[in-house]
A and B are shown apart, each in its own frame.
Chain A
């Protein structure tokens, strides 16, 4: 039903899907996501919508292979179809005129901040983008994000490309720079990264928006599985988020809850890889 109009590998373990989904393409605003169920046995997983083409009726998803479901999806061919996609889910990005907005993407979080950066740019903000990864090969979407950024900083933990260090080091430099007035920070990536970015910006009272990624099932607010604690209150990331005030998030709780199904995830992936290998050897 949801046909892959195009599919391409755009980085290591990184796939870009262009999918026919006219209703979603028309309704989606930046910051929203979809829930995908690829096959009958599949989980429902949340994926950020990177771009849409409402005239063509397509949505573009950028997905990193991390486990069984994303691995299985990456084996679909152009022309094949995912079984179910529903959206757009979540609250659209809150976009304001801040003057200068710093957009920070860590790892796959870069695919999440990309639509935010585009929207912030359209709203008249100056965009300084920081993307970080452990090493050069894991950097993604430099060209796409670079195209909407007035300034573009890359950090790698091991110094294999750009500035050696963490995104927080680059951010600190910007904050310390007398010529830069950081109006707001938009950040997505590993939870620990969002936590430390927020701890840093809190010292300077810089408004910070993070995009949270808890485990989801329905995405419509009916199960509460994606509940997060914001300012001491329970919120559902799928309907109240996925963006929240970075200074109010209980990151430790989120990091912990993300590990709930770890052993099942490993089991599933191991089984799939084993079956996949056997088929390859038979060929």
Chain B
């Protein structure tokens, strides 16, 4: 039975007796027809009950798993005391995008996997609690964060308004620096707005966080393509920026280079999702950007982006939406929750399958994919067993839309227009332990350094970069220079 959340200390035994709560969800088939959020959020009493499950460990293992080091037991305690705004403030000491991370972090591999409760039962639902607190804060319209820090007189430019860029900007602003975030698109947020669909990350949540950022004094300039509209040298030599943090992501789509990839109806996941999430194509003709609605859709890939794409295709009315993945189910990099949600929505999974050719009809439209079955061999450099084609196992999947979701890499626009910026052989920016690049005053973090990774890792880099930049500005740059 749920106790009243009055902070009354429960005994460890009482806490251990509480089972992990469930997250209310829209019904699987029903939600596959709309773009509303799948997870509906915890009700207050349920959140309190879940918060009471936390044993308030002295040496919290969960915190070790968090890439930004949130005081997890701290904020959870506040929930049990019904002081949700204090809980939010605790989270915001380390994480300025709690409504985002509470939704998209892979908690099951970060904080929750370390939770001691997981040793004999289910871990505390840290992610759901973070989301509960963040959403409460949004709904209460509590005053937006402000900073009282004395102005340092230093200017920093963040290239990219994705998770790394905005986190760095927020932290630097809180230290009293003048920060401008430059974004190439017309809306800020990066993958949060163009990549992650409405049913997982509503854009209004991201917009709200951008308002918080502005409240801290950060300037966000959209429609600036650094590398073309302005270069990094110009920012530092002409526009007066003391430091630049490069966080433009890994946005270059990877194609499979198989025959038929240019037939009409074949998209990169980036294009497919950007048309729908950023440009509103699922509401055509209310929004002018169109998108092809396939009846039978194949998504090539097994990561979170592939899950987002395949579930989106269902919502656009596909009769059949199929994941085609070359390895086995257990090896899919996608979050378990996303795969589970996809299954509930009726997605078909073709595992150990790889496309070899895309076929088109006489009018140049996709009509099918020739695929080959795979089997698992020895581990490859990533540690996963290598998929090997089974000779003679070719077969045809009929489809009228294909989305290629096999990864992204670094867009060379910034690196190619910034002389002296060292990159590795894959085009990612080389940095030292302090996220410093080969150019003094220029730092980098997020996917442009790591390759395509997660929102929270990018945020961790943003936070670390802010510290490094602050050190650099206070120690290495002489005043008046």
Q: How far is the CA of A37 from the CA of B222 in the complex (A)?
A: 12
| Contact A268 B184, beta carbon cutoff 8 Å | no
A88-132: CB near B (< 8 Å → 1, else 0) gives: 110000000000000000000000000000000000000000000
CB pair A264 B251 closer than 8 Å:
no
In the assembled complex, the Cα of A203 lies from the Cα of B104 at a distance in Å of 57
Binds A, one of B203-211, B266-274, B448-456: B266-274
B200, CB-defined interface residue at 8 Å: no
Whether A257 sits at the interface, judged by CB under 8 Å, is yes
Interface string of B358-370 (1 = CB under 8 A from A): 0000001000000
Partner of A89 from B228, B255, B261, B275 at Cβ < 8 Å = B228
B262 contacts A by Cβ under 8 Å: yes
Chain A residues with CB under 8 A of B397: none
CA distance A1 to B186 in the complex (A): 12
Q: What string of 1s and 0s marks CB contacts (under 8 Å) between B286-301 and chain A?
A: 1111101000000000
Flag if B413 contacts A221 (CB, 8 Å): yes
B contact residues around A220 at 8 Å (CB): 184, 225, 251, 411, 413
B285 an interface residue at 8 Å Cβ cutoff? yes
Beta-carbon contact of A222 and B270 below 8 Å: yes
Q: Does the CB pair A84–B223 fall under 8 Å? A: yes
Indicate if the CB atoms of B255 and A234 lie closer than 8 Å: yes
Check B279 for interface membership: any CB of A closer than 8 A: yes
The 8 Å CB contact of B289, one of A44, A83, A86, is A44
Bound-state CA distance A261–B290 (Å) is 7
How far is A85 from B251 in the complex, measured between Cα atoms in Å? 20
Give residues of chain B (257-285) contacting chain A, Cβ–Cβ below 8 Å.
Answer: 257, 261-262, 264-265, 267-268, 270-271, 274-275, 279-280, 284-285
Residues of chain B within 8 A (CB-CB) of A43 are 279, 288-289
Q: Look across to chain B and name the residue whose beta carbon is closest to the beta carbon of A256.
A: B364
With contact pairs A86-B186, A227-B262 given, residues A267 and B225 touching in the complex (Cβ less than 8 Å):
no
Total CB contacts across the A-B interface at under 8 A: 111
A23-B224, A68-B288, A223-B268 given as contacts; is B411 within 8 A of A44 (CB)? no
Is B225 a contact partner of A268 (Cβ separation < 8 A)?
Answer: no
Residue among B223, B262, B287 with max Cβ neighbours from chain A (10 Å)? B223
Per CB-CB distance, the 7 closest pairs between chain A and chain B, nearest first, are A264-B290, A223-B271, A222-B251, A84-B186, A86-B223, A224-B268, A256-B364
Tell me whether A54 is interfacial, beta carbon within 8 Å.
no
- Residues of chain B contacted by A234 (CB below 8 angstroms): 255, 257, 261-262
Chain B residue at minimal CB-CB distance from A226: B271
B336 close to chain A: CB less than 8 A: no
A35–B166 Cα distance when bound, in Å, is 24
B346 interface residue, CB < 8 Å from A?
Answer: no
- What chain B residues lie within 8 Å of A83 (beta carbons)? 186
The answer on a CB contact under 8 Å between B228 and A69 is no
CB within 8 Å for A87 and B228 given contacts A69-B288, A267-B285: yes
Q: Is B253 at the interface (CB under 8 A from chain A)?
A: yes
Q: Which residues of A contact B252 (CB under 8 A)?
A: 221-222
- Cα separation A5 to B455 with both chains bound (whole Å): 41
Interface membership of A281, Cβ < 8 A: no
Find out whether the CB atom of A221 lies under 8 angstroms from the CB atom of B251.
yes
Asked if A55 lies at the interface with its beta carbon under 8 angstroms from chain B, I say: no
CA distance A264 to B284 in the complex (A): 9
- Residue tally, chain B, CB below 8 Å to A: 39
Which of chain B's residues has its CB closest to A24's CB?
B229
> Which residues of chain A come closer than 8 Å to B279, judged between CB atoms?
43-44, 217
Taking a contact as CB atoms under 8 Å apart, the answer to whether B264 and A260 are in contact is yes
Chain A positions within 8 Å of B228 at CB level: 27, 32, 87-89
- Write the A216-239 contact mask toward B (1 if CB under 8 angstroms, else 0): 011011111101010000100001
Residues 138-163 of A contacting B (Cβ, < 8 Å): none
Q: Which one of B257, B271, B286 has the greatest number of beta carbons of chain A within 10 Å? A: B271
Say if the beta carbon of B185 comes within 8 Å of chain A: yes
Question: B225 touching A217 by the CB < 8 A rule?
Answer: no
Q: Which residues of B contact A256 (CB under 8 A)?
A: 264, 364
CA–CA, A260 and B412, complex, Å: 28
Tell me, yes or no, whether B10 is within 8 Å of chain A by CB.
no
Q: Is B230 in the interface zone, CB < 8 Å from A?
A: yes
In residues 215-268 of chain B, which contact A (Cβ within 8 Å)? Answer: 222-225, 228-230, 251-253, 255, 257, 261-262, 264-265, 267-268
Q: Return B30 CB to nearest CB of chain A, in Å.
A: 27
Residue ID in chain B nearest A254 by CB atoms: B262
Knowing A229-B262, A267-B285 touch, does A27 contact B253 (C-beta < 8 A)? no
Q: Which residues of A contact B225 (CB under 8 A)?
A: 86-87, 89, 220
On whether the beta carbons of A224 and B270 are closer than 8 Å, the reply is yes
Q: How far is the CA of A268 from the CA of B265 in the complex (A)?
A: 20
A41 touching B288 by the CB < 8 A rule?
yes
A25 to B315, CA, bound (A): 42
Cα A43 to Cα B283 in complex, Å, equals: 12
Q: How far is A227 from B286 in the complex, measured between Cα atoms in Å?
A: 27
* Selected A-B contacts with CB under 8 Å, 23 pairs: A23-B229, A27-B228, A41-B280, A41-B287, A44-B186, A44-B289, A68-B288, A84-B223, A87-B229, A217-B274, A220-B184, A221-B413, A222-B251, A222-B270, A222-B274, A222-B411, A224-B270, A225-B267, A234-B262, A239-B413, A256-B364, A260-B264, A268-B290
Taking CB atoms, residues of chain A closer than 8 Å to B412 are: 221, 239
- Give complex CA distance A221, B285 in Å: 26
Contact A257 B264 (CB under 8 A): yes
- Interface: A271 (CB within 8 A): yes
Chain B residue with minimal CB distance to A42?
B288
Chain A residue nearest to B268 (CB atoms) is A224
Beyond known contacts A86-B185, A222-B253: 8 more, CB 8 A cutoff? A41-B286, A84-B223, A86-B229, A87-B229, A218-B274, A223-B271, A239-B411, A264-B290
> How near does chain B come to A82, taking the closest CB pair, in angstroms?
10
Contact B253 A86 (CB under 8 A): no
- Expressed in whole angstroms, the Cα–Cα distance for A234 and B404 within the complex equals 15
A253 with B262, Cβ < 8 A, contacts A27-B228, A41-B280, A221-B413 known: yes
Give Cα A218 to B411, complex, Å. Answer: 13
Of B229, B274, B411, the most chain A CB neighbours within 10 A belong to B229
Min CB–CB distance A6 → chain B (angstroms): 21
The interface residues of chain B lying within 8 Å CB-to-CB of A44 are 186, 279, 289
B301 CB to nearest A CB, Å: 14
CB neighbours (8 Å) of A267 from chain B are: 285
A42 to B225, alpha carbons, bound, how many Å?
Answer: 20
Q: Does A259 contact B (CB under 8 A)?
A: yes
CB contacts (< 8 Å) of A68 on chain B: these are 288
